[in-house]
Amino acid sequence: MSRITREEVANLARLARLDLAEAELDEYAKQLEIILESVAKVGEVATADVKPMSHATGLVNIFREDKVETSLDREEILKSAPATEDFRFRVPRILDEE
């Protein structure tokens, strides 16, 4: 089990889109190390022939008839949006300006 450095925390935060404050990097480095060391215990179990379990029901590929149904009202949904324009979500720029 390798140590969790503040650089690793910064990288995880970048992947998870979290703009962590400097002070948080140290705090999380310490805590994540303790937690990850503890959960690494799963490695003790011999699992060579075990099929991974993703959920409990065993259900696969649930289909429905391809029928048109009424969905949620557009205006109702946009009511709670942070910003809208012309009945659409308005989002900040996604490309650099240059």
Partner 1 sequence: MSDLTKLSAFELSQQLQAGSVSAEEVTNAHLDRIEELDKKVQSFLHIDKTGALKQAKEVDSKRKEKQKLSKLAGVPLALKDVLTQKDVPTTCGSKILEGWLPPYDSTVVKNLKNAGIVILGKTNMDEFAMGSSTENSAYFSTKNPWDLTKIPGGSSGGSSAAVSAFFAPLSIGTDTGGSIRQPAAVTGIVGAKPTYGGVSRYGLVAFASSLDQAGPFARTVLDCAMLHEVMAGHDPKDSTSINQRVPDVVAAAQMQDVKGMKIGYIKELNGKGWQPGVINRFNESIELLKSMGAEVKEISLPHSIYALATYYLIAPSEASSNLARFDGMRYGLRVDDGNSSAEEVMNKTREKGFGKEVKRRIMIGTYALSSGYYDAYYAQAQKVRALIAQDLTDAFKEVDVLISPTSPTTAWGLGERVNDPMAMYLADLATLPPSLAGIPAMSVPIGLADEDKLPVGLQIIAPFMQDDRMYRVGGAVEASLKSKWNGLLIDQIPTLGGAS
Q: How many residues bind partner 1 (CB under 8 A)?
A: 52
Q: What is the 8-class DSSP label of residue 80?
A: T
* The residue to which tokens 């696969």 are assigned: 60
| CA–CA gap between residue 91 and residue 56 (Å, rounded) | 38
Please report, as residue ranges, which positions from 43 to 82 form the binding site for partner 1 (by CB under 8 A): 43-45, 47, 50-57, 59, 62, 64, 72-73, 76-77, 79-82
Indicate whether 98 belongs to the interface with partner 1 (CB under 8 A): no
- Contact between 4 and 36 under an 8 Å Cβ cutoff? The reply is yes
Residue 84 CA from chain centroid, whole number: 25
- Contact between 58 and 22 under an 8 Å Cβ cutoff? The reply is no
Please report, as residue ranges, which positions from 6 to 25 form the binding site for partner 1 (by CB under 8 A): 9, 12-13, 15-21, 24
Binding residues for partner 1, rule: CB under 8 A, are: 9, 12-13, 15-21, 24, 28, 31-32, 34-36, 38-45, 47, 50-57, 59, 62, 64, 72-73, 76-77, 79-83, 89, 91-94, 96
